[in-house]
Amino acid sequence: MKITSIEFVGSFEKLSQCPVTSLPEYAFIGRSNVGKSSLINMILDRKELARISSTPGKTQTINYYFINKEWYLVDLPGYGYARVSKVDRKKWKKMIETYLKERKNLYCIFSLLDSRHELQANDLEFINWLGENYLPYVIAYTKSDKVKPDELGNHIDAIRTSLLEHWEELPRQFITSSNDRIGKEEILDFIKEINNK
């Protein structure tokens, strides 16, 4: 899929404010500092579309981008950020869960996992929550360029092994690197494939 147009639609604090549409939506979410903004910018071939910061937790709203006048990419706040008050964490959690459970035209959730680290407890908790709520998701491993090539496979195998302690099988998975532009075509082709069904 070639990206021909991108329109920033807006940032919303609750589901009721989100655009009224039946077009497909694809949500991107992961632990704070997983590299979500960089991945989104790489996928859409823009340098500063999604805000990148050295300080985790910058995404605090449901951010909508209208792609090719055909589908929406939805940038969700990260989870697991410690420097946020309990009140804000609770508010974000409710906002995210309400959107994910109730958005009728949400076709797929991209759950981002950092390929440099073992599976974190909050990643497992989130992915299990997706399963408990029968929500469609895939996994995108980020920052693959930060791991030595001969170690990357071992890192990802370890994450998969941890997940398979809770799942009989895993969904589709993508290995990505924003710096090396790895995974862009695979993700866009996957979205095109679903859109055309």
- Each residue's pLDDT tens digit, 20-48: 999 999 999 998 889 899 999 999 988 77
Tokens describing residue 137: 């998701």
25 assigned to some structural domain: yes
Model confidence, pTM: 0.90
Torsion angles phi and psi, residue 11, rounded to 5: -115, 135
pLDDT of residue 85: 67
DSSP E strands, the chain: 6-12, 25-30, 62-67, 71-75, 106-114, 137-142, 173-175
Report which of 140, 110, 88 is spatially closest to residue 29, judged by C-alpha positions: 110
Domain count, the chain: 1
Residues 29 and 95: beta-carbon distance below 8 Å: no
pLDDT of residue 78: 82
107 assigned to some structural domain: yes
Tokens describing residue 122: 């909050």
Torsion angles phi and psi, residue 71, rounded to 5: -155, 165
135 assigned to some structural domain: yes
Using CA atoms, how far apart are residues 159 and 161, in angstroms rounded to an integer? 5
- Token match 């006048």: residue? 69
Q: What does the pLDDT average to over 140-157?
A: 92
Torsion angles phi and psi, residue 174, rounded to 5: -130, 135
Residues 34 and 40: beta-carbon distance below 8 Å: no
pLDDT of residue 51: 57
1 assigned to some structural domain: no
Using CA atoms, how far apart are residues 9 and 67, in angstroms rounded to an integer? 10
Question: What count of other Cβ atoms lies within 10 Å of the Cβ of residue 117?
Answer: 15
Q: Distances in Å between the alpha carbon of 32 and those of 12, 15, 74, 172, 184?
A: 19, 21, 16, 22, 21
- Each residue's pLDDT tens digit, 74-101: 999 888 665 666 776 777 788 899 999 9
92 assigned to some structural domain: yes
99 assigned to some structural domain: yes
- Give the domain range for residue 72: 6-195
Write the CATH number for 65. 3.40.50.300
Using CA atoms, how far apart are residues 102 and 186, in angstroms rounded to an integer? 27
> Under DSSP, is residue 114 helix (H, G, I), strand (E, B) or coil?
strand
Residues 80 and 54: beta-carbon distance below 8 Å: no
155 assigned to some structural domain: yes
Residues 61 and 144: beta-carbon distance below 8 Å: no
45 assigned to some structural domain: yes
Give the lowest-confidence range in 51-55, 102-106, 108-112. 51-55
